[in-house]
Amino acid sequence: MKKIRNILLAMPIVLMLVNIYLIFLVAPTDINLGHIQRIFYLHVPTALLSFVVFFTVAGLSVSYLINKNKAVDRLSQALAEVGLVYVTLALITGSIWAKPVWGVWWTWEPRLTTTLILWFIYVAYVMVRSYTADTNRGSKFAAVLGIVGGINVPIVYYSVMLRSIHPGPVIGDETKLPDSMLWVLVFSLITFGVVLLALVKERHFTLYADQVISDHKLRRQQKSII
């Protein structure tokens, strides 16, 4: 069991090293932006995967509010936390990319503003769980926030259609991305996806163990009272 766990943990590290090789030594340099465009292979996968994660969290939150299944709630929490790390990365890398290209670290344009709102929703999600004394109530509040976050995802995605200076989607029918860049991006997406799954798996285990320990302590207290 431990051997399988080690392999699962080693896989993202190996993929990440190959990914770095592809990004810096294989992907061509953008003719207009230069080397700074390589942030793209970090910024786009983290942003896209965080959107997928928040959609999943919304679905799991609906399921939790209907069935009150604790396993679903734990998975939702693990996903939301890792999603928050990813969307934070997307915001930071986007800001670093914006400075040399747009001349500013931040601008209140639709894509950036809606992403920041999404970030605040998930910060609230994590805080509600941490600061609510009653865990069941905390889970309920978090589920509601998870649904609100999920509703915000399409708004973030389509916000580029409003008066936005942010580039539009790069994957799809209208893509103008050359193949040499596209396949590095796809590999990067797979890599960050595997890293995400590994982090979610580990976080889910800690949440499960936490639950087992607190249930055990509760049973012991009840026994001692009787």
State the Cα–Cα distance between residues 194 and 188, nearest whole angstrom.
Answer: 10
State the Cα–Cα distance between residues 116 and 16, nearest whole angstrom.
Answer: 27
Residue type, 173: D
Confirm or reject binding of residue 88 to another protein (CB under 8 A). yes
x/- site string to another protein, residues 183 to 202, per CB under 8 A?
A: ------------x---x--x
Burial class (CB in 10 A: 0-12, 13-18, 19+), 10: exposed
Confirm or reject binding of residue 209 to another protein (CB under 8 A). yes
Residue holding tokens 């431990």?
2
Confirm or reject binding of residue 96 to another protein (CB under 8 A). yes
Confirm or reject binding of residue 161 to another protein (CB under 8 A). no
Confirm or reject binding of residue 216 to another protein (CB under 8 A). yes
Assigned token pair, 36: 């700074």
- Binding footprint of another protein, residue count (CB under 8 A): 38
In DSSP notation, 88-110 reads: HHHHHHHHHHHHHHHSSS----H
Shortest distance, position 210 Cβ to another protein, whole Å: 6
Stretch that binds another protein, among 18-26, 68-76, 147-155, 161-169 (CB under 8 A): 18-26
State the Cα–Cα distance between residues 177 and 174, nearest whole angstrom.
Answer: 9
Stretch that binds another protein, among 123-131, 163-171, 181-189, 210-218 (CB under 8 A): 210-218
Residue holding tokens 């709630």?
73
Confirm or reject binding of residue 15 to another protein (CB under 8 A). no
Query: What residues make contact with another protein under the rule CB under 8 A?
Result: 24-31, 33-36, 38-39, 42-43, 46, 82, 85, 88-89, 92-93, 96-97, 99-100, 195, 199, 202-203, 205-206, 209-210, 212-213, 216
